[in-house]
Amino acid sequence: MAPSATLPGLEPEYVEFHAGKGKLKRAVLKGDHKKATFASIPAVDFAQMWSDSLNDRKEVALHVGKAFREVGFLYAVNHGISEDIQARTFAVTKEFFELPLEEKMKIHLNKSPAIKGYEALLETRLDDTTRGDNKEAINFSDDPYDPDHGCPPDFDKSYYPPGPGPINQWPQKPSNFRSIMNEYRTAMSDFARRLVRIIALSLDLDETYFDYMLEFPMAGLRPLHYPPQEASTDVGIGAHNDYSWFTCVWQMTPTPALEVLNSNAEWISAPPIPNTLVVNIGDFLERATNDVFVSTVHRVVNKTGDERYSLAYFFTPSHNVMLETVPTCWSFDRPKRYEDVNAGKWQRERLYRARYKHPASIAAKQAGEI
Ligand SMILES: O=C(O)CCC(=O)C(=O)O
Ligand SMILES: [Fe+2]
């Protein structure tokens, strides 16, 4: 969204956020200037997503489409990820983050040409009025060389650095971390592939319209740990848009901290609801839908005094597809706003810009690639 001009009679008050091409700001609208926008995050029941009846799936799509058009966020109820997988995933996540820093730094992402691995507290700074993002994380991606990730044997792997060889850096401790994360990843991948079909229905397309993009999607997992804030000016993650197609966040602890920005630049709380996923649209799907679906700004502010853990799953199509504007999202009255784009190129540019201090990003900048 473009920066808003100051409106007459309004204090020039803005919320700044990190978007793909840098920093943007949104005017805080008050009184008569307020727009119709959301004040809460809708919940959608996904139980019928697995139904054999197309009508049942269309019913889910109706609610999903409304939420993605109006809010860009929803709570997915009955998402199908078992409580057993959740409990084991939470246990290994907590165990990893409780290790001494020295142990965690063994898999720091600067050691990985693919920019995967551990990032420490305050290492990123999405909001430069703060001392940094008060969170630590590990970034994993779906890896065509990982036998557990199900890549088709003849898939073009040229996109994946440094080739041939594994993309991810897995911690040695806890020893069952990798197998449990991969189990969670498989469950999320099933959910995401189904959701892609629901999204097709919600855009009045044939259910299988996007299937050609799903040969080996550029999906990734990101376990996150947010310690309690030390200063009132701290943030867990500064305001930003995601660059995925969509993101599914499991808020692992009952710590309210996630906030979503509406069109009036008010922060709307998205507190954890047990057994739900928070699903939000990223910039890439906003672009593919000609802005019909909205990629909504969000941030994490952990003021509770408690530890917070979450697990984000980012979903983006296979690297080798050209993404065109979805045919039902443009017309004579709503011309195409964006060029077609190669999915891998888009993803890599955004990753390099987000990780601008990484050696691979510096090299790409020097080579004029970004
Ligand atoms: O932890 C959360 O709830 C959100 C994380 C997030 O926004 C991100 O990793 O992009
Ligand atoms: Fe995010």
129 alpha carbon to ligand 2 midpoint, in Å? 18
Is the per-residue pLDDT at 145 higher than 70? yes
Question: Tokens 């991606």 appear where?
Answer: 141
State whether the beta carbon of 256 lies less than 6 angstroms from ligand 1. Answer: no
Phi-psi map region of 30: left, alpha, beta (phi>0 left; psi -120 to 50 alpha): beta
Every domain of the chain and the residues it spans: 14-139+168-317
Is the per-residue pLDDT at 92 higher than 50? yes
Q: Which residues pair with 323 in a beta bridge?
A: 341
SS3 125: coil
Q: Pick the ligand that lies closest to the CA of residue 221.
A: 1
Alpha-carbon span 72 to 227, nearest angstrom: 27
Q: Looking at residue 113, what DSSP letter applies?
A: T
Q: Pick the ligand that lies closest to the CA of residue 250.
A: 1
Q: Pick the ligand that lies closest to the CA of residue 272.
A: 1
238 alpha carbon to ligand 2 midpoint, in Å? 9
Residue to probe by mutation, ligand 1, list 226, 259, 279, 300, most atoms within 8 Å of CB? 300
**Joined tokens for residue 25:** 């700001």
> Binning pLDDT at 50, 70 and 90, where does residue 1 land?
very low
Alpha-carbon span 316 to 213, nearest angstrom: 9
Q: Mean pLDDT over residues 344-369, rounded? A: 84
Is the per-residue pLDDT at 5 higher than 50? no
Q: Mean pLDDT over residues 101-109, rounded? A: 97
294 alpha carbon to ligand 1 midpoint, in Å? 17
Is the per-residue pLDDT at 11 higher than 70? no
Indicate the pairing of strand 276-281 with strand 73-77: antiparallel
Say how many Å lie between the first and final Cα of the chain, rounded: 21
Q: What is the DSSP string of 14-26?
A: EEEEEETTEEEEE
Is the per-residue pLDDT at 8 higher than 70? no
288-332 residue pLDDT tens: 999 999 999 999 999 999 999 999 999 999 999 999 999 999 999
**Given the CA of residue 298, which atom of ligand 1 is nearest to it?**
7
Q: Decide: 229 and 134 in contact? Cβ < 8 Å.
A: yes
pTM for this entry: 0.94
Q: Looking at residue 225, what DSSP letter applies?
A: E
Name which of 52-56, 85-89, 223-227, 364-368 the model is least confident about. Answer: 364-368
Alpha-carbon span 229 to 111, nearest angstrom: 29
**Joined tokens for residue 90:** 């939470």
| pLDDT number for residue 37 | 95
**Residue among 225, 228, 223, 222 at smallest CA distance from 136:** 225
State whether the beta carbon of 249 lies less than 6 angstroms from ligand 1. Answer: yes
More confident residue, 177 or 131: 177
23-40 residue pLDDT tens: 899 999 999 999 999 999
Residue to probe by mutation, ligand 1, list 41, 278, 298, 314, most atoms within 8 Å of CB? 298
The domain at 14-139+168-317 falls in which architecture? Sandwich (2.60)
Question: Tokens 């919600």 appear where?
Answer: 202
The mean pLDDT of the chain is 93
283 alpha carbon to ligand 1 midpoint, in Å? 15
147-170 residue pLDDT tens: 999 999 999 998 987 677 899 999
Is the per-residue pLDDT at 366 higher than 90? no
| pLDDT number for residue 3 | 42
